[in-house]
Amino acid sequence: MKNYFKILDKLIHFDTTSSNSNIEAIDYIESLFKQKKNYHIIKVYNSTKNKCSLLIKPHGDISKGILFAGHIDTVSVNGQKWSSNPFKLIKKDRKLFGRGVVDMKGFVSLVIANMLNKNSSKLPFCLSVTHDEETGCEGIYNLSKYIQKKNILLPDKCIVGEPTKTKIVTANKGAAVIDTIVRCKKDLGHSSNYNQKVNTITLSSELIIFLQSLQKKISKKNILKCTPNNSSIHIGLCNGGTGHNIIPKQASFRWEIRYINDDLQFVKNKFQNFQKFLLKKYKEDISEITIENIPICVVPGLIEKNQKKIITLMNKFNFLGNEHVPFGTEAGIIQKLGLSTIIFGPGSISQAHKPNEFISINQLEKYNKLLNNILNY
């Protein structure tokens, strides 16, 4: 019998920070299933071949089964003060500590162990393990494209195992990340030679202030039952210039919107119109300045649609409710493949991305019991 603790212990040892390769961890997971010889393993690499996503399916008819979806990339530990080695699983006070233990290697380990311990079921388990969820969901996008291109059969139900304290989540916000870059074609040189009205940095500051002002113009629709329950705009990075006495040739900032429904398009339209207004306003002063908006990633949210199959199944095991969360997941992407999808995983998102990240053993045992019950249903 495979023990999820041993699998989790091994997975924590792999530093799968999004900036690193995940190949060693993927090879380890693949090796576990190769020993059983009754699983079909599909590997999809990124463009540079240093990262890989897995789709693992048992042989036979899996159409009425469940796809359990998880990622094994993690956020960085740089700058965080840990009480122990973040890449060593520590057990203390009925909790397990380690980077990625709750987000989301604990979930992945549970599913792997249960798949390996049960050869057949009326509700067969499939598993997807992806890379780069933390930086824009490249792994699940690549895997989804491959699935569609090869016409690969998937189960009709999906559980995305992000930490929800084993509560059913039926909706989450979408996320879009955008780089706005202000460039000047002129070689403007020394600041003493320029009696400026505007430059790339000051123009960027006007754009940032306008973006922040849009927050008040987004209607508080109260569609989602989470905090905040409206779409939110955040400016996270800002760069520009090379010296206090050099006129800046370029300034840029990265911003995101955690959006509900059509709020993304609303904000983009307002922002683009304001950019046109500024270029017209400073026409004589910035004829050599351009503004470019580069989308880094767009991840759709999970919506309350086509969820009856998976919710009905969960209700049979006394898991009820329809919570909403503000954070992003792969669920909206998988839902677009036609699967009846929810977010449902062990542990709390409040412990993710922090130093001394942990998950309670009680949460893992509760989730493990559910997986056993489903497999034996």
SS (H, E, C) 136-180: CCHHHHHHHHHHHHHCCCCCCEEEECCCCCCCCEEEECEEEEEEE
Q: Where in the chain is the domain with CATH 3.30.70.360?
A: 174-298
Is residue 284 very low, low, confident or very high in pLDDT (cuts 50, 70, 90)? confident
| pLDDT band at residue 205 using 50, 70 and 90 as cut-offs | very high
Reply yes or no on whether the pLDDT at 112 is more than 60.
yes
Q: How far apart are CA 102 and CA 350, in angstroms?
A: 10
Q: Is the pLDDT of residue 343 over 90?
A: yes
Give me the mean pLDDT over the 1-11 stretch: 90
Q: State phi, psi for 275 to the nearest 5 degrees.
A: -65, -40
Task: Find where tokens 């400016």 sit.
Answer: 235
Where does the chain hold its CATH 3.40.630.10 domain(s)? 4-172+301-375
Residue 171 reports pLDDT greater than 80: yes
d(CA 21, CA 131): 9
Q: Topology of domain 4-172+301-375, per CATH?
A: Aminopeptidase (3.40.630)
289-331 pLDDT tens trace: 899 999 999 999 999 999 999 999 999 999 998 999 999 999 9
Q: What residues does 299 pair with on adjacent strands?
A: 175
Structure-model confidence comparison of residues 328 and 188, the more confident one: 328
Q: Which long-range contacts (CB under 8 A, 24 or more apart) does 223-230 make?
A: 223/260, 223/261, 224/171, 224/172, 224/173, 224/260, 224/324, 224/326, 225/323, 225/324, 226/172, 226/323, 226/324, 226/325, 226/326, 227/326, 228/326, 229/324, 230/260
Nearest of 291, 210, 294, 202 to residue 248 by alpha carbon: 202
* pLDDT higher than threshold 70 for residue 1: no
Q: Domain 174-298 classified CATH 3.40.50.10490?
A: no
> Is beta strand 66-71 parallel, antiparallel or unpaired with respect to 125-130?
parallel
pLDDT greater at residue 189 or residue 175: 175
What does the pLDDT average to over 68-90?
97
Contact between residue 198 and residue 286 where contact means Cβ atoms under 8 Å apart: yes
Q: Is residue 346 scored above 60 in pLDDT?
A: yes
Rounded Cα gap, residues 267 and 70, in angstroms: 31
In the structure, what pLDDT confidence band is assigned to residue 65 with cuts at 50, 70 and 90?
very high
Instruction: Check pLDDT > 90 for residue 36.
Output: no
Asked if residue 143 has pLDDT above 90, the reply is: yes
Question: Taking residues 101-105, what's their average pLDDT?
Answer: 97
Residue 377 tokens read as 């249903």
Measure the CA–CA gap between 141 and 299, rounded to whole angstroms: 10
Provide the angle, in degrees to the nearest 10, between the axes of the packed helices 200-217 and 263-281: 140
**Mean per-residue pLDDT of the chain:** 93
By three-state DSSP, how is residue 118 classified? coil
- Pairing state between β 125-130 and 232-240: unpaired
The token pair that represents 272 in the structure block = 């683009």
Look at residue 195 in the predicted model and tell me its pLDDT.
67
The CA distance from 52 to 142, in Å, is 9
